[in-house]
Amino acid sequence: MSFKNRSLLIVVSVALLVSFFASRPNLNVAPALAANDCDSNRSIQVSGSATVKVIPDLVTIQLGVTSNAATPQGVYDQNTATMKKTVAAIRALGVAEKDISTGYYLIQPVYQDYNDLDIKGYRINNTIIVNLKDVSKVSQVLTAALSAGANEVADVQFKTSQLRQHRDEARALAMQAAQEKARALASAANAQPGCVLSIDETNSSYYGYPWQSMRYAGMMQNAVQNASGNAQPPSDDGPISLGQIAVQADVQVRFSLK
């Protein structure tokens, strides 16, 4: 191919490309960020924390039966009989079998003199975990279990079935808090926050105990908000108060400065 023909081919190709892009006005090409909008040499790092208060709709109860007897068979029979009564009493309240599971089961000797390993009997620690979907029945379950022979309430923990939704809400609020803090600090230094250089989630958790949410709520978060559509918790005439649990998110965000 001659030099003249090659030159003509290049000109035609360029013209076709120009015509192609001109015929497609909706074709968006994202412009590059200006250097001063995303300069990593000038940056500010801030934290953002948020807590969303949620009324629990799930309760996990850990109950135990501890038994003592002189022989392994004796303690086994005694503990098994008591635990069966306990489970039957809980099932009678409408709790499904699949919502009751063994937490741990431990049999060990009881020593008269530990140094001499003189065994005087045996002990079984048997616990069950009850996942209660009707939170208004907490006191009924505790009363029924203890009346049937359970002799330990190891744990009562409140939860939410919508943890992911509330955790995402807390994350969004934490990011908003970080952005507001960055703007305030940058403004005090006659600057403005630019692009986001990095985001680190330092914590994402929920507290199912009132004392935990009270203890940690005032220490870190920039925002506290009740979950949308939060109604009043169901009443329970017993000693258990449902209240609210806290779903918390903490982030560290680094912005450029412009």
Q: Are residues 70 and 193 in the same domain?
A: no
* pTM of the predicted protein model: 0.64
Q: Which residue has the higher pLDDT, 135 or 36?
A: 135
Q: What's 65's domain CATH number?
A: 3.30.70.2970
Q: What is the pLDDT of residue 60?
A: 94
Within-domain flag for 15: no
* pLDDT of residue 33 exceeding 60: no
Within-domain flag for 114: yes
Tell me the residue ranges of DSSP E strands in the chain: 43-54, 58-69, 100-113, 118-132, 152-159, 193-207, 223-226, 245-257
Report the amino acid identity of residue 173.
Answer: L
pLDDT in tens, 177-230: 999 999 999 999 999 999 999 999 987 665 554 434 444 444 444 555 555 555
Q: Are residues 196 and 213 in the same domain?
A: yes
Q: Are residues 63 and 182 in the same domain?
A: no
8 Å CB contact between 222 and 7: no
- Looking up tokens 């680190």 gives 200
Task: Tell me the pairing of strands 223-226 and 43-54.
Answer: parallel
pLDDT in tens, 41-73: 999 999 999 999 998 999 999 999 999 999 999
Count of structural domains, the chain: 2
Q: What is the pLDDT of residue 187?
A: 94
Q: Are residues 108 and 145 in the same domain?
A: yes
Within-domain flag for 19: no
Within-domain flag for 31: no
pLDDT in tens, 131-168: 999 999 999 999 999 999 999 999 999 999 988 999 99
Q: What is the pLDDT of residue 244?
A: 86
Within-domain flag for 170: yes
Q: Among 187, 164, 170, 163, which residue's Cα sits nearest to residue 48?
A: 170
Report the mean per-residue pLDDT for the chain. Answer: 80
Q: What's 212's domain CATH number?
A: 3.30.110.170
Look up the domain containing 99 and give its range. Answer: 58-159
Q: Quick one: what percent of the chain has pLDDT higher than 90?
A: 60
The continuous run of DSSP H or E covering 9 comes out as: helix 3-22
Largest pairwise CA distance in the chain: 109
Q: Are residues 42 and 165 in the same domain?
A: yes
Within-domain flag for 154: yes
Half-sphere exposure of 67 (CA within 13 A, CB side): 24
Q: Are residues 196 and 68 in the same domain?
A: no
8 Å CB contact between 65 and 126: yes
